[in-house]
Amino acid sequence: MTTTPINLLSEEQLAEISSGKHWSFHGGIHPQENKQQSSKAIIKDAGIPPFLVIAVEQKGESPLLLVNIGDSVLKGQALTKATDVMVVQNASSSGTVTAIEKRTDLHPSGLPVLSVVIATDGLDRSVEYSRCADYKAQTNTQLIEKIQNAGIIGLGGAGFPTHLKLAHYAAIKLLIINAVECEPYITADDRLMQEHGDEIIDGITVLQHILKPQLIVIAIEDNKPDAIAAIKRALQKKQSSQSANIIIRTIATHYPSGSEKQLIEIITGQQTPIGKHPSELGIVMHNVGTVFAIKEAIIDGKPLTSRIVTLTGEAFRKKGNVSVRIGTPIQYLLDKYEFTPTASQKLIIGGPMMGFSITHGDVPVTKTCNCIVAPTLQEMPESPPEMPCIRCGECAEVCPAQLLPQQLLWYANSKDNSKLDEYNLSSCIECGACAFVCPSHIPLVQYYRIAKAEISSAKQQAEKAEIARIRFEHRAARLQQAKLDRQVKHKQAAEKRKQQLQETNGGEDLIAAAIARAKAKKQATADPSDAPADNKKDAVAAAIARAKAKKQAAAEHSDAPADNKKDAVAAAIARAKAKKQAAAEHSDAPADNKKDAVAAAIARAKAKKQQALESTQINTEINPENSAAIAARKARKEQARLHKRQDLPAQIIDTTIAEPQTIDTTIKASDDKKTKIAAAIAKAKAKKIAQKDQ
């Protein structure tokens, strides 16, 4: 919403409006009104339900809660804190907060939203309302804040926060009070005007004080003569200099004349440009119910805790308008007003044209719930099955926004969002006139609602994608920068190190010196013809020569000592050998004993191992590859077969004991042989036993 006025109403236009001229809008329909069902009875209080469910979430945002579970609350007490756009939610009766949780909201989706559940105590004690006789002494900001704290939103149906609408009070030339109530069945505003005309005029005076418009028009459809009369009476009573510019405009009954843009067209003859807000034309519109709530909030100091709901439709035994506390479960109203469901019973919230149906009564009445219609099938027959569009164009003739519904249907079905935009789907007010006249019974509005939701979610996604792209790019840039920074840092650190090294070594580069040295060395070894290498070689050669000469000399000079030496060595070796021999001979017996003992131990161990191996092979029959084992097994088997009834275990033990001894003797033979032999022995034994038995 922008505040820059682009096309403010001129003085001439205002004069024309006040002179009584009025216009009309394109299309529109005349559905059956069915208002008589509920418009006769006076407004009754619906009473205090056992519990209240007050939804605190607004447009998906949870405000700051001011109460906790277990707190006792009074009627009119603020449950939430107001923010810029959010209004305060007030308790609508006294009691105890029993839960703060997600509860099903009065929304076509039937999704739960954060709600405060209050168990009422039936006393309906309220906070002290501070009456304000002289509101004119207060500034606009104070008054608007009061309205926000009273929790007032547009009570006509859309629920736009009133304080936001009032915030742009600068360039308002025309204030329209919407008392049209063009939807069939609904009579809440009608009854309100009949019974509370004076309060409504007071509310209008408050708005007049805030907005200071040049002209105020109260627009009422001509099907509410009693309401028109009541408002007229109230206005005459208030006749003063201020109310001089308040006029009542009776307009023809014509659906959807209560829609904001259509009513502006009726009253002023001006069309609000697409995407513009009426405030840019210097026009603001408030529902008559909202005006009543503003009066209560400003003059009586009462926050919005209840609203008037029309209970109508043939399925209600007791029809009429009731003042319902916000948060009252619909089921409570259904029970109290004797709702008798019939076959295929529908429950419609709002009017039959723009409302939505709910499937159960376990949802609370909200501030925007102006009507509950419970029609019987006779009253509101099922819509016949949908047929293809025959492009008759009747929808285009009735469309109050002058759109082409048949084209929109076509593009909505093909999900062509750009074309839908081209055909201004966003200007559709979802009034349902097109679906009402459609000879093919196409629920056009439903298709548009879906398409609108899809477009808005596509828009949201595009916005999110854009944010994601920016975040991704920023991250990539950051990482790149970090990498560069790191490189620079490393380079700087390396340079610093180099410099430090140079400084500590008196300006000499140690590494460079070392490299130079290493190079020089390499050079030196690589080139043998170098002078120092030659020197060395020569020296070596000389040394060898000297050594040879010396040796020679020694050999010649002292032959005997050298021989002696040799002999001595030989003798020493011989001695050592002899000693060894002697030692071996001397300690022959013990050493032999020891050796034998070791050998015996090894043999035993081997035997044991072998025995264990064989016995396992025999007993468990797990090694079929081993022929010995197979043989032994066979033997054993045979033996077992023969001695089934005799003392078999003893014999088996016998063989197992015997085996190691036999093996002991053959243990030094090769392993293969050993196993074969063992097998043979086993076989032989088995045979022997068998023979013995026979």
Which parts of this chain interact with other proteins (CB under 8 A)? 57, 59-60, 105, 107-109, 111, 113, 343-344, 359, 377, 382, 443, 446-447, 449-450, 453-454, 457, 460-461, 464-469, 471-476
Q: Which two tokens stand for residue 690?
A: 């068998």
Closer Cβ to other proteins, 68 or 378, answer by number: 378
Instruction: Indicate the residue type of 567.
Output: D
Closer Cβ to other proteins, 460 or 500, answer by number: 460
Write down the least CB distance from residue 326 to other proteins, Å. Answer: 17
Write down the least CB distance from residue 55 to other proteins, Å. Answer: 10
Closer Cβ to other proteins, 142 or 461, answer by number: 461
Write down the least CB distance from residue 372 to other proteins, Å. Answer: 19
Tell me 281's DSSP state.
G
623: Cα within 13 Å, side-chain hemisphere:
14
Write down the least CB distance from residue 467 to other proteins, Å. Answer: 7
Instruction: Indicate the residue type of 98.
Output: T
User: Terminal CA-to-CA distance of the chain, rounded, Å?
Assistant: 120
Q: Which two tokens stand for residue 160?
A: 């736009």
Q: Where do the H-state alpha helices sit in 340-443?
A: 394-398, 405-413, 417-422, 433-437
Give the E-state strand segments of 170-270 in sequence order: 174-179, 215-221, 246-251
Write down the least CB distance from residue 663 to other proteins, Å. Answer: 60
Question: Cβ distance 639 to 654 under 8 Å?
Answer: no
Contacts of 660 (CB under 8 A, 6+ apart): 607, 608, 610, 611
Q: Count Cβ atoms within 10 A of the Cβ of residue 584 and give its class: 0-12 exposed, 13-18 middle, 19 or more buried.
A: exposed
Closer Cβ to other proteins, 477 or 582, answer by number: 477
Question: Cβ distance 213 to 169 under 8 Å?
Answer: no
Helix axes 588-620, 671-693, angle to 10 degrees: 60
Whole-angstrom distance, CA of residue 435 vs CA of residue 26 = 16
Closer Cβ to other proteins, 23 or 356, answer by number: 356
Write down the least CB distance from residue 63 to other proteins, Å. Answer: 15
Write down the least CB distance from residue 452 to other proteins, Å. Answer: 9
Closer Cβ to other proteins, 212 or 474, answer by number: 474
Write down the least CB distance from residue 89 to other proteins, Å. Answer: 16
- Sheet of 246-251, strands arranged across: 246-251, 215-221, 174-179, 283-287
Write down the least CB distance from residue 513 to other proteins, Å. Answer: 44
Closer Cβ to other proteins, 103 or 633, answer by number: 103
Closer Cβ to other proteins, 388 or 590, answer by number: 388
Closer Cβ to other proteins, 72 or 376, answer by number: 376
Q: Which two tokens stand for residue 396?
A: 């285009």
Question: Cβ distance 443 to 386 under 8 Å?
Answer: yes
Write down the least CB distance from residue 436 to other proteins, Å. Answer: 18
Closer Cβ to other proteins, 323 or 376, answer by number: 376
Contacts made by residues 597-603, CB under 8 angstroms, sequence distance 24+: 603/664, 603/667, 603/668
Question: Cβ distance 95 to 72 under 8 Å?
Answer: yes
Picking from 31, 421, 42, the residue whose alpha carbon sits closest to that of residue 230 is: 42
Question: Cβ distance 205 to 332 under 8 Å?
Answer: no
